[in-house]
Structure 1
Amino acid sequence: MLWNVDLTLVDTAIVTRDAYAEAFRQVTGRPLVKLAPANGRPDSEIVFETLAVNGVVAEDDHLPRFLDALTTAFATRKGRLTAEGRMMPGAKDALKAVAKLDGIVQSVLSGTIKGNAVHKLTAFGLHKYVDFGIGGYGEEVYPKATLLQVAQGRAKDKYGTPFTSANTVFVGDSTRDVQAARIGGAAMLAIASGRSTTAELHEAGADLVLPDLTNPSEVVSAIARLTTPTPR
Structure 2
Amino acid sequence: MSTLNRLVLWNIDHTLVDVGRVTRDAYAEAFQRTVGRPLVRLAPTPGRTESEIIFETLAFNDVVTTDDHLPSFVAALTEAFANRRADLPAHGRVLAGAREAVEALAHVPGVVQSVLTGSVRPNAVLKVTELGLADRLDLGAGGYEDGVYSKAALLELARSRAGERHGARYPESATVYIADSPRDVQAARIAGSPIIAVATGSATEAELRSAGADQVLATLADTDAVVSAVAELIRI
Aligned counterparts of 1:112 and 1:161: Cα–Cα separation in 2: 26
Aligned counterparts of 1:195 and 1:165: Cα–Cα separation in 2: 27
User: Paired residue for 2:27?
Assistant: 20
Q: Residue 129 in 1 paired to residue 118 in 2? A: no
Q: Aligned residues, how many?
A: 229
1:169 and 1:189 in contact (8 A); partners too: yes
TM-score by length of 2: 0.94
State the identity as a percent: 54
User: Paired residue for 1:63?
Assistant: 70
1:7 and 1:194 in contact (8 A); partners too: yes
User: Paired residue for 1:142?
Assistant: 149
The Cα of 1:31 is off from its aligned counterpart by 0.8
What's the secondary structure of 1:222's corresponding residue?
helix
User: Paired residue for 1:182?
Assistant: 189
Structure 1 counterpart of 2:208, from 197, 201, 213: 201
Which digits, 9 at most, give the CA deviation of each residue in 1:161-209, with x for residues without a partner? 2222211000001011111111112111111111111111111111111
Aligned counterparts of 1:43 and 1:227: Cα–Cα separation in 2: 29
Structure 2 counterpart of 1:227, from 225, 229, 234: 234
Aligned counterparts of 1:41 and 1:141: Cα–Cα separation in 2: 13
The Cα of 1:143 is off from its aligned counterpart by 1.2
Amino acid at match of 2:94: M
Aligned counterparts of 2:150 and 2:202: Cα–Cα separation in 1: 20
User: Paired residue for 1:35?
Assistant: 42
Aligned counterparts of 1:160 and 1:83: Cα–Cα separation in 2: 38
The Cα of 1:83 is off from its aligned counterpart by 2.0
Structure 2 counterpart of 1:167, from 170, 174, 190: 174
Q: Residue 86 in 1 paired to residue 93 in 2? A: yes
Relative distance call for 1:151 and 1:140 in structure 2 (3 A) is farther
Amino acid at match of 2:99: K
User: Paired residue for 2:114?
Assistant: 107
Amino acid at match of 2:105: V
Structure 2 counterpart of 1:9, from 16, 22, 27: 16
Amino acid at match of 2:233: L
What's the secondary structure of 1:186's corresponding residue?
coil
Q: Which runs of 5+ in 2 are unaligned?
A: 1-7
* More strand by percentage: 2
Aligned counterparts of 2:106 and 2:15: Cα–Cα separation in 1: 17
Q: RMSD over aligned Cα, in angstroms? A: 1.1
1:111 and 1:144 in contact (8 A); partners too: yes
Q: Which runs of 5+ in 1 are unaligned?
A: none
